[in-house]
Amino acid sequence: MTRIVQQFEVAAPPEKVFATISVPEKWPRWSTFVKQATSHGSTAHWIYDLGGMKVQSD
């Protein structure tokens, strides 16, 4: 299985980063491939654009 690893540094306090990444609806603001995300209790529905291909997952 192929493994892709990407690393980056965020110039923000951990609390602010967690407040952003823990809310799926905020993902399209910072992730270039997530087009939409909606929370459903403890799960979420995601719509991605992966190389021009629309992918959905729960």
pLDDT at position 27, please?
Answer: 94
Q: Decide if 22 contacts 29 (C-beta within 8 A).
A: no
In tens digits, what is the pLDDT along the chain, a chain of 58 residues? Answer: 899 999 989 999 999 999 999 999 999 999 999 999 999 888 999 999 999 999 999 9
DSSP state letters, 26-55: GHHHH-SSEEEEEEETTEEEEEEEETTEEE
pLDDT at position 35, please?
Answer: 96
pLDDT at position 8, please?
Answer: 87
Most distant pair of Cα atoms in the chain: their distance: 34
pLDDT at position 45, please?
Answer: 96
The whole model's pTM is what? Answer: 0.69
